[in-house]
């Protein structure tokens, strides 16, 4: 299997409300997102993507549009974390992303995979698809999810 991977970074805040240690507090991370795509190499003479699975600039543009720019410099909050939701709603024009699960790196990776899986769809009949997503919360801690 041939794959390509594009790495992007963004900053976001969150908290793990029931966590036993400091992660229950409001804090942020410099996240690193790795998007791995698979598919056949495009064989289309005269096409800009000829010889590629997908142009890396297109991978970046789509990831930014659908995920990175949405989450960058936002506070990602669990929809049942009422105290933080109330606080964030009191801040004028605050960038808040509400998700349906606790924003652990594992859950954020799942949400990101679900979003991006629908974005990276087959082009030129090559079977293009999102194969793997890696989300680093810190340089030493990350979650990986692959298409089964």
Pairing relationship of beta strands 74-78 and 3-14 according to DSSP bridges: parallel
- For the question of residue 23 being annotated catalytic, the response is yes
According to DSSP, residue 54 is labeled S
Contact assessment for residue 85 and residue 98, using Cβ atoms and an 8 Å cutoff: yes
Catalytic residue of the set 14, 131, 136, 137: 137
Q: Provide the pLDDT confidence category of residue 7 given band limits of 50, 70 and 90.
A: very high
Question: Does residue 4 register a pLDDT over 90?
Answer: yes
- For the question of residue 141 being annotated catalytic, the response is no
Question: Within its chain, how far is the Cα of 9 from the centroid?
Answer: 9
Q: Provide the pLDDT confidence category of residue 146 given band limits of 50, 70 and 90.
A: very high
Q: Provide the pLDDT confidence category of residue 139 given band limits of 50, 70 and 90.
A: very high
Residue (of 83, 85, 114) closest to 98 by Cα position: 85
- For the question of residue 66 being annotated catalytic, the response is no
For the chain, state the CA radius of gyration.
17
Q: Provide the pLDDT confidence category of residue 122 given band limits of 50, 70 and 90.
A: confident
Looking at residue 124, its pLDDT comes to 74
pTM for this prediction: 0.95
Question: Does residue 148 register a pLDDT over 80?
Answer: no
Catalytic residue of the set 23, 34, 66, 106: 23
CA gap 85, 17 in Å, rounded: 12
Burial of 127 (0-12, 13-18, 19+ CB in 10 A): exposed
The predicted-structure confidence for 73-115, as pLDDT tens digits, reads as follows 999 999 999 999 999 999 999 999 999 999 999 999 999 999 9
* 73 phi-psi bin (left φ>0, alpha ψ -120 to 50, beta other): left
Question: Does residue 31 register a pLDDT over 80?
Answer: yes
Looking at residue 24, its pLDDT comes to 94
Mean pLDDT (the chain, rounded): 96
Catalytic residue of the set 9, 19, 27, 73: 73
């Amino acid at each position: 299997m041939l794959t390509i991977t594009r790495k992007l970074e963004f900053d976001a805040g969150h908290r793990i409300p029931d966590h036993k240690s400091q992660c229950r507090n409001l804090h942020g991370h410099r996240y690193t997102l790795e998007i791995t795509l698979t598919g056949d190499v495009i064989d289309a003479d005269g096409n800009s993507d000829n010889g590629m699975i997908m142009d890396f600039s297109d991978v970046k543009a789509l990831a930014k549009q659908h995920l990175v720019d949405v989450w960058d410099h936002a506070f990602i909050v669990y929809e049942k974390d009422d105290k933080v939701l109330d606080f964030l709603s009191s801040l004028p024009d605050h960038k808040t992303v509400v998700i349906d699960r606790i924003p652990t790196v594992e859950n954020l990776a799942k949400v990101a995979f679900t979003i991006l899986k629908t974005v990276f769809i087959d082009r030129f009949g090559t079977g293009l698809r999102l194969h793997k997503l890696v989300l680093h919360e810190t340089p030493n801690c990350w979650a990986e999810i692959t298409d089964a």
